[in-house]
Amino acid sequence: MTKVLVSDPIDQAGIDILGQVAQVDQRTGLSADELKSIIGDYDALMIRSGTQVTADVIEVADRLRIIGRAGVGVDNVDVPAATQRGVLVVNSPEGNTIAAAEHALALLLSLSRHVPQAHASMRAGSWDRKKYVGNELYKKVLGVVGLGKIGSHVAKVAKAMGMEVIAFDPFISADRAQQMQVRLTTLEDLFRQADYITLHIPRTPETENLVNAELLRTMKPTARIVNCARGGIVDEAAIAEAIDSGVIAGAGLDVFASEPLDQDSPLRAVERGLVLTPHLGASTEEAQENVATDVAEQIRDVLLGLPARSAVNIPGLSAEIMERLKPHLQLAETLGLLVSQLSGGQVQELEVRLQGEFANHPSQPLVVAALKGLLTSALGERINYVNASLEAKGRGIHVLEVKDDASRDFAGGSLQLTTRGGQGGHSVTGAVFADGELRVTTIDEFPVNVPPSQHMLFTRHRDMPGIIGHLGSLLGEHNVNIASMQVGRRIVRGDAVMVLSIDDPIPPALLATINGINGIQEAHPVTL
């Protein structure tokens, strides 16, 4: 008999759906050892954030076909281990979209009309009408940072309320933005122009403390900012100081770098202009039911032999094929992440060229892996192998697949990704060597031979004496250690590219100095 284990509290609607096709056992609060001792009896596992599904658990789950996470994040699931065992992992990336968007709007309105402070004043016996005179959202400029599903919904509602909406999202095409009646701009201009700002981006190394003291100082003194996305995007000490000193008018925060919020957090001392909520973005009855229903339906479908709609790992491939394609998928994803950062996210078209032996591999997973890498900087954990194509389509990114059987540049073939957009494009080529090692072999048609590393710096420069030494000395002065360096050129004293593998990321101030070096045309730090 088909059996499903539910190891975290799940809305009854999800339990009812699972009961249509399987015996459902609800056993919450299991220890790691208890979970390992029983998981071998189950065909499916449904969890929320409490259960840790480690490689050890997956190893003994002989019957397990699918793990369903009722929510977005799958940090508590060892997805590579599940994929290796041929176990499908699914989540509910859209179940809390409306809830999160509405909470952002609620914070915007609360900030404008001082609702929490006025309520507290009333409870204390006061009647301070003059003290809590507010502002209207009508005809104000709303800056949306990140136009994914949540950010797009906020923008749509804000437009209906009469707001002018501007946005920063380098992964949204101009055509798509025009359809949404949203004007795209740079992050810096958005912070300067907006009366209200709402953040809808993942927490990544690039976005951590993105909203810092320097950026806050560029805002209007009457402007307010809301974060219902991820903690750590906003420098909390800086925003507390900015409100207290009058640099900005206020902020609404639902997420924090450390949760629960520390008792001694400077945010707790801000008396006016700040609204805090304890991570309530997805905390609606409807959202909890939605994620439970969504994931339960996917588990039911998979148990009936049907495809899942929100798989986090690659669906429909056996463990054998997964193992064979593993380095090629890793290469595709790495090149996608690389070319997106070289392009600054300004991508309207992605060409995926499978050359030589690469053309003989199944192309769809390779294309999807490339798209996943391309969109990772924008979407973080929300992007996966199933929704990558849909997300690309929703952002107006056209995908062109080319197979070139005749190309024999490497024995195992190669993969080339080319981006095109309003500001030009970039191309990168990579190969998988016989030992499974990944190599970047060209950048913008310049020949290189570089293994990908976590922190890299790419430059395009004039091939002239002294420029390499100048850059090396500059990095040394800023205590940035160079692990390896390679230069590629086509003609002597023409243009060239330089690839540096470095031990630490490049600080923004140092990057500006690098771009100011005579002969440097472009400089792009990359984090893989």
Query: Which residues are catalytically annotated?
Result: 230, 259, 279
Amino acid at 81: A
> How would you class 124 by CB atoms within 10 Å of its CB: exposed for 0-12, middle for 13-18, buried for 19 or more?
exposed
Rounded Cα distance, 161 and 186, in Å: 24
Among residues 270, 226, 280, the alpha carbon closest in space to that of 105 is found at 226
Rounded Cα distance, 418 and 421, in Å: 10
| Residues 49, 72 contacting (CB under 8 angstroms) | no
Among residues 161, 180, 166, 149, the alpha carbon closest in space to that of 108 is found at 161
Residue 175: Cβ within 10 Å count:
11
- Using DSSP's 3-state secondary structure scheme, residue 497 falls into strand
Give the torsion through C-alpha atoms of 218, 220, 221, 223, to 10 deg. Answer: -120
Rounded Cα distance, 348 and 187, in Å: 19
Hey, what are 464's tokens?
């002239």
Rounded Cα distance, 40 and 410, in Å: 44
Rounded Cα distance, 383 and 124, in Å: 47
| Residues 257, 136 contacting (CB under 8 angstroms) | no
Hey, what are 283's tokens?
């905390």
Rounded Cα distance, 201 and 151, in Å: 9
| Residues 354, 331 contacting (CB under 8 angstroms) | no
DSSP designation for 211: B
Hey, what are 91's tokens?
């989540």
CA distances in angstroms from 306 to 41, 43, 182, 321, listed in the order given: 22, 15, 38, 20
Among residues 172, 117, 168, the alpha carbon closest in space to that of 142 is found at 168
